[in-house]
Each structure stands twice: as structure tokens, then as C-alpha cells.
Chains A and B, each alone.
Chain A
Amino acid sequence: MSNLFCSSVGKKLVMSISGLFLIMFLFVHLLLNSFLLIPDGGEMYNAGAHFMATNPMIKVMEPVLAIGFIVHIVYALILSHQNAKARGNVAYASGNKTQGVSWMSKNMLILGVTVLAFLVLHIAHFWVKMKVTGHDLLAHTTIKVGGVETEVENAYALVNYTFSQLWVVIVYAIAAIGLAYHLMHGFWSAFQTIGFSNNVWRVRLNIIGAIVAWVVGLGFAIIAVAQHLFFQA
């Protein structure tokens, strides 16, 4: 057990588990974002954001999530470095003409870096403003939570303002599609790595993975585009 994470399979297990954990986070995030599609002036979204900001469970999960990201990124770099070394420094002059290998499976690092670049921007856009620096648009507003008048931060106003900028929407949509491609390979690969796959489940996992990837990718993209097109005051 002790040296599990020194082995190649053990390191891949870390990628697999952290990746699946991050996919779960994406679904929670997407669920919250879906409230942005409700035309109620952001009341439901603000209630959701208030719940996420005050729930003790979420307070615990926030650092865990940060660790999940860091572990996934650090191990990706370690594994990629080892793989480049194992490959050797002489490339094939005739290239690689193997048919039937998906483009994303060969470019997970590039897709990952794309998602990471977006993540930095995304944290600067929202997390920093909500948690650290504060922002004028976040001025308190009163909504009804379960029939009780509650004073909450107006997270909706900040989201609505951010998505009023066309370049932001374009960058977010591109990143969401990059994420979808990352998950197209990442989802099934995670299950293959923990050993939960065979000739039957490989097909199923690939189909489920494609559905997960595009629900998440297109979900985030559509919400951003919809905010820009239909929800600007």
C-alpha cells in the first residue's frame, strides 16, 4: 500500500479519482448555473449562491476542491514528463499514421492547459471578487428564501455584468468546448484506469462519457451565451 502512489498505475489512479471528483464538482456548478436560465431577475440564482456561500458542507468542500485541482494538475505534469522521457528524444521520421485513435486522447495535456488558463480567468472574474476583494455590483439585495426575507449578496448582478461583455462569452464558450473534449477521453479513461472496464463496458463508458462531456460543455456554453443574448437589462 505504502508505495502505491510511486507506481505508474498508482499515479494514474490519482489522475482518475481526482478527475472523477472534478467531474462531480462540474455537475454541482452546472446545476447552480442552470438557475441563470430562470427569468426571475436572478432571485433563484442568488438564493443558490447564498446557500453555497453559507453552507458548512460547502465550506469544507472548497479547500478539498482546490486540492483536487492541484493534485490533478501536478500529477498530469509529473506523468507527462515521465512519458516524454520514456518516449525518448528521437521522433519517427515517417510520423504516426495509426488510425482510429481519438485526437483528444493524444492531446489531454493541451486540452488541460486550455481549461487551466480559463480557470485562472474564471477565478479572477468571480471567486476573487466574491471572496477576497468584493465588488460594487455585489451590494446586498433582499430575496425570499423559503418565504423568509433574507439579505444576500447580489451575485447575479456580477454574473450578468460579466456576461454582458462579448469577449468574455466567446472565451467561456471556447473553454467549455475544450472542457468537453477533455472529458470525451477523460471520463472513460478514468474508469479504465481504476479497472472498471472490459470489452462490453468500454463501449458503454465511451457513450456515457460523450454524454457527460457535451452536457457539461454545452451546458456551460449555452448559459453564458443566453446571459449575453437574452438576460441583459
Chain B
Amino acid sequence: MEKFINITLKVWRQNGPKDKGRFEIYKLNNITTDSSFLEMMDILNEQLIGEGKEPVAFDHDCREGICGMCSLYINGHPHGPDDDVTTCQLHMRKFKDGETITIEPWRSAAFPVIKDLIVNRSAFDQIIASGGYVSVSTGGVPDANAIPIPKADADEAMDAASCIGCGACVAACKNGSAMLFVSAKVSQLALLPQGRVEGARRAKAMVAKMDELGFGNCTNTGACEVECPKGISLSNIARLNREFLCAKLQD
């Protein structure tokens, strides 16, 4: 049922990459619990513009949970307190009347803040560019049964492919590690015949790029898996380790 709540926002403001940054407090009244978190942010920005202040900069695009553009570390969780959703799919019904909501950017050395709540996630693009693809055209859609693929493998590949590259895993990790992201990208291709061919090269290249960009080392805490909006499994990290170590041993 629709309700209206009054909330206090504690928002990270930072003018640019070199600026020190600080928290600012904003009060918002009569926010409908039916609105999404980003709609609430839009209301905040309209209020700020009305007051002649600069609106809060934050990333967003599709607003239907599939593009991976939205971020925000909300009340101690990447993508906020709801499970298995991105910030754009988080709704205000998850918050109580009178609650103070703390909104911060992703914190990781490899994701420097650009402005306010926007961080530079191009490190992920660089990791993908280093090997997260199949380098030959695999042609048009083949006959369904021309290449037999076990159902379990197809399912696991599809689950890994649901990673949207939002960076919540890095934001949640106490080590700033990108292993869940890289392992999902390596797994989705390694599990299928078209991607299998370049599996060894891909695992080596992507791990090398990940290390070079200053992401941390995985200590298997599993925080990434818990906070991942797409529920990417930690078993992908075991597969990445396997792929990488086997590839290295063959060198």
C-alpha cells in the first residue's frame, strides 16, 4: 500500500577527482514508498535545482536492472538493503519514515571518484578488452542440436553471463578485489565450446590486467556473492582459479 515518508539523506558530495569531498545532509518530505530509489534521487535533485544548488551527480541508465550503470553504496550495502536488485530496482518501501539514509560512492582504489557519487569504472572495460570476448565470428544461429552442450553447463554459463559489470563485488570486497566480475566473464565463455578454444589465453590476460589495474587479491570471504545484484556464484572464482593455474602450468 502506498505510504508517504519523510527521510533525511546523508549524501557524499565531491566536486572532482582531486577534491577532498564531504557529506551533506538533505531533508526530503512526502516521498511515496512506491517510488524507486533513483526517482527519489530525481526528486532530491529537482529540490536542489529549485533552491539554486547544484544537483547530486549519480550514474544511471536503463533503470530496469540490466545495464549495470547504477551504483551507490546505501546504508552499508552496495545497491542498498534489498537482495538481488540493482539500485534502480530498489524501492522506497524498503525504508522507514524518519530514517537517515547514507549514500556513498563505490570505494576502491581502482574505482576513483569522478564527481559526487560517480566513480570511474573503466577499469572493468579494460579487463574485458584484454580478453573477455571470442575473437572469431561464430557465424549465425546454429541448429539447436548441432553442438551438444550439457544442460548443466548451459545453465551455469547463462548464470555467469547475467553479470552486468556494475562493480558491486569490488565495492563490497574488503580487499577491493574484482575476482567475482572476472570469474563470471571467464566462466560464461569457458563453459561453452565457442569460448573454450581461447580459454587459457583469456584467463591469463584478464587476470594480468586485473592485477595491473590495482584490484586486490581474493580471500574468499564471499561478501561479493552476497551483495551481487545478479547472484553470481563464488564457484565461478574457483573455476577462474582452475582455468588460470592450468593455463600457467602449460606455459
Q: Mark A1-22, 1 if CB is under 8 A from B, else 0.
A: 1101001111111000000000
Q: Mark B168-194, 1 if CB is under 8 A from A, else 0.
A: 000011111101000000000000000
Contacts of A7 in B (CB 8 A): 207-208, 211, 244, 248
CB < 8 Å neighbour of A192 from B102, B173, B174, B241: B241
Report yes or no: B75 in contact with A97, Cβ–Cβ below 8 A: yes
Report yes or no: B238 in contact with A197, Cβ–Cβ below 8 A: yes
Report yes or no: A198 in contact with B73, Cβ–Cβ below 8 A: no
Q: Mark B218-251, 1 if CB is under 8 A from A, else 0.
A: 1111110011000001110111111111101101
A167 interface residue, CB < 8 Å from B? Answer: no
A218 CB, nearest partner CB in chain B, Å? 24
A193 interface residue, CB < 8 Å from B? Answer: yes
Q: Mark A184-212, 1 if CB is under 8 A from B, else 0.
A: 01001100111111110010000000000
Residues A98 and B227 in contact in the complex (CB < 8 Å), given A83-B176, A88-B108, A193-B241: yes
CB < 8 Å neighbour of B10 from A10, A93, A102: A93
Contacts of A101 in B (CB 8 A): 221-223, 226
Contacts of A197 in B (CB 8 A): 235, 238
Report yes or no: A100 in contact with B222, Cβ–Cβ below 8 A: yes
Report yes or no: A85 in contact with B242, Cβ–Cβ below 8 A: no
Per the 8 Å Cβ criterion, residues 144-166 of B in contact with A are: none
A106 interface residue, CB < 8 Å from B? Answer: yes
Contacts of B173 in A (CB 8 A): 87
B210 interface residue, CB < 8 Å from A? Answer: yes
Report yes or no: B104 in contact with A93, Cβ–Cβ below 8 A: yes
Interface size of A by Cβ–Cβ distance < 8 Å? 45
Interface size of B by Cβ–Cβ distance < 8 Å? 54
Contacts of A102 in B (CB 8 A): 221-222
Contacts of A85 in B (CB 8 A): 109, 214, 216
Contacts of A196 in B (CB 8 A): 238, 242
A-B contact count (CB 8 A): 151
Report yes or no: B248 in contact with A4, Cβ–Cβ below 8 A: yes
Report yes or no: A105 in contact with B221, Cβ–Cβ below 8 A: yes
Report yes or no: B217 in contact with A185, Cβ–Cβ below 8 A: no
Cα–Cα distance between A105 and B107 once the two chains are bound (Å): 20
Contacts of B233 in A (CB 8 A): 199
Per the 8 Å Cβ criterion, residues 92-135 of A in contact with B are: 92-102, 105-106, 108
Cα–Cα distance between A103 and B238 once the two chains are bound (Å): 21
Report yes or no: B245 in contact with A105, Cβ–Cβ below 8 A: no
Cα–Cα distance between A13 and B74 once the two chains are bound (Å): 34
A91 interface residue, CB < 8 Å from B? Answer: yes
Contacts of A98 in B (CB 8 A): 76-77, 172, 223, 226-227
Cα–Cα distance between A91 and B176 once the two chains are bound (Å): 12
B15 CB, nearest partner CB in chain A, Å? 16
- Contacts A7-B208, A193-B220, A195-B245 known; 19 new A-B pairs at CB < 8 A: A1-B248, A4-B248, A8-B179, A10-B245, A12-B218, A12-B241, A82-B216, A86-B109, A87-B175, A93-B12, A96-B174, A97-B81, A100-B226, A101-B223, A101-B226, A102-B221, A193-B218, A198-B239, A199-B233
A to B CB contacts below 8 Å, 7 in the list: A4-B245, A8-B177, A86-B175, A86-B176, A95-B76, A98-B77, A195-B246
Binding site for A on B (CB under 8 A): 10, 12, 23, 73-77, 81, 102, 104, 107-110, 172-177, 179, 207-208, 210-211, 214-223, 226-227, 233-235, 237-246, 248-249, 251
What 7 pairs between A and B have smallest CB-CB spacing? A195-B242, A97-B76, A86-B216, A86-B176, A83-B175, A94-B102, A197-B238
